[in-house]
């Protein structure tokens, strides 16, 4: 399906510089775009590509003025980054088709409840007592355990495992091979040097509008719930241990490990491979750089941290500027 610049400008509340009737059918990177695609310029270090790109439409910030002639049509908006995210959603919605129906090769307990308009793929297992809300998409080879509750319009991709008694909200996306509700890592040391497993009797609660990346594991609580608050976005290959709580609208990048009983505030941003020690709390709006190690609680809201053990980002950069020159002394 093709859409023209006029439609995109109206959709984004932007203004057109060029041909309003030029059409596009896909989104592309500005440096490799072809005719019939739309790209964006949000970072000025890529400005040089604007003058050579083959993209038919380029989204730019409203305040931007080209230094020379541009071949394609410009759509000027308040924030190019936010605009391209909206355009990607637009194209995705045009391509996606909502599936319905239950595969004959699925196993759904007669003591479970599946809402209206759902899709249940091949090899899906839904155990007794489970409840799946209306218009959910459950792709092949998903396991949904006893007494699991899933809200409306949630998408669960192939190979996801949701253990007994866990709760998933509405409008969530859980990507392939995520494991929700496996036992927390709890073992009591014994006098003879062995370890006795501590029963993990709680569950996992994922609230509305969350996205869980592929191969991410969220462990059930030993007592109570491991809680992922609404709007949280977890990347691929993340470990969230038992009894953690992650605050609203927090985003965490791949390969981060969160130890047990950690409480993370709302609107935090963690880079990749961050390690967080157990039984600490992190204040809202904290930003943590990639590969940082957090070993104690962060009490001040809005701090930026780097390093392992992590310190204030400005202090880290000052210290690093000295460290990198030590071999020359």
φ, ψ for residue 265 (rounded to 5)?
A: -75, 180
Check residue 98 and give its pLDDT: 76
Structure-token pair, residue 237:
């290959």
The arrangement of secondary structure in 160-317, i.e. its CATH architecture, is: 3 Solenoid (2.160)
Domain boundaries, the chain: 3-95, 160-317
Per-residue pLDDT tens digits of the chain, which is 329 residues long: 789 999 999 999 999 999 999 999 999 999 999 999 999 999 999 999 999 999 999 999 999 999 999 999 999 999 999 999 999 988 887 776 678 899 999 999 999 999 999 999 999 999 999 999 999 999 999 999 999 999 999 999 999 999 999 999 999 999 999 999 999 999 999 999 999 999 999 999 999 999 999 999 999 999 999 999 999 999 999 999 999 999 999 999 999 999 999 999 999 999 999 999 999 999 999 999 999 999 999 999 999 999 999 999 999 999 988 888 887 76
Residue 238: which of 213, 211, 220 has the closest Cα? 213
Residue 46: which of 62, 24, 64, 34 has the closest Cα? 64
Q: Residue 187, exposed/middle/buried by CB under 10 A (0-12, 13-18, 19+)?
A: exposed
Query: Is 327 among the catalytic positions?
Result: no
pTM of the model: 0.85
Check residue 96 and give its pLDDT: 65
What is the topology classification, in CATH, of domain 3-95? 3.40.1390
Check residue 97 and give its pLDDT: 67
Check residue 323 and give its pLDDT: 87
Check residue 161 and give its pLDDT: 98
The catalytic position among 107, 242, 279, 327 is: 242
Task: Compute the distance between CA of residue 162 and CA of residue 197 in angstroms, rounded to an integer.
Answer: 21
HSE-up of residue 3 (Cα within 13 Å, Cβ side): 16
User: What Å distances lie between residue 118 and 99, 101, 112, 127, 267, CA to CA?
Assistant: 7, 6, 14, 16, 32
Check residue 312 and give its pLDDT: 95
Task: Compute the distance between CA of residue 66 and CA of residue 74 in angstroms, rounded to an integer.
Answer: 10
């Amino acid at each position: 399906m093709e859409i023209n610049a006029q439609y995109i400008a109206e959709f984004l509340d932007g203004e057109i510089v060029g041909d309003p009737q030029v059409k596009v059918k896909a989104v592309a990177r500005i440096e490799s775009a072809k005719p019939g695609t739309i790209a964006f310029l949000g970072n000025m270090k890529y400005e040089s590509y604007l003058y050579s790109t083959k993209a038919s439409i380029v989204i730019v910030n409203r305040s931007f003025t080209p230094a020379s002639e541009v071949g394609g049509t410009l759509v000027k908006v308040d924030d190019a980054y936010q605009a391209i995210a909206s355009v990607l959603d637009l194209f995705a919605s045009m391509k996606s088709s909502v599936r319905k129906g239950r595969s004959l090769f699925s196993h759904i307990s007669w003591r479970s409840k599946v809402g209206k308009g759902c899709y249940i793929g091949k090899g899906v297992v839904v155990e007794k007592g489970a409840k799946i809300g209306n218009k959910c998409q459950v792709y092949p080879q998903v396991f949904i355990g006893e007494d699991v509750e899933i809200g409306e319009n949630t998408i669960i991709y192939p190979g996801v495992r949701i253990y007994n008694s866990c709760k998933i909200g509405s409008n969530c996306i859980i990507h392939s091979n995520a494991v929700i509700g496996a036992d927390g890592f709890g073992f009591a040391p014994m006098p003879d040097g062995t370890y006795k497993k501590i029963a993990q009797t709680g569950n996992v609660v994922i609230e509305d509008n969350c996205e869980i990346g592929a191969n991410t594991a969220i462990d059930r609580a030993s007592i109570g719930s491991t809680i992922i608050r609404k709007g949280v976005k977890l990347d691929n290959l993340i470990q969230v241990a038992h009894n953690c709580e992650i605050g609203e609208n927090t985003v965490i990048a791949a390969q981060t490990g969160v130890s047990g009983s950690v409480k993370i505030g709302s609107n935090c941003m963690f880079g990749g491979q961050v390690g967080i020690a157990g039984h600490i709390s992190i204040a809202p709006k904290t930003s943590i750089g990639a590969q940082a190690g957090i070993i104690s609680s962060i009490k001040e809201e809005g701090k930026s941290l780097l390093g392992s053990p992590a310190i204030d980002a400005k202090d880290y950069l000052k210290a690093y500027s000295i460290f990198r020159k030590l071999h020359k002394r």
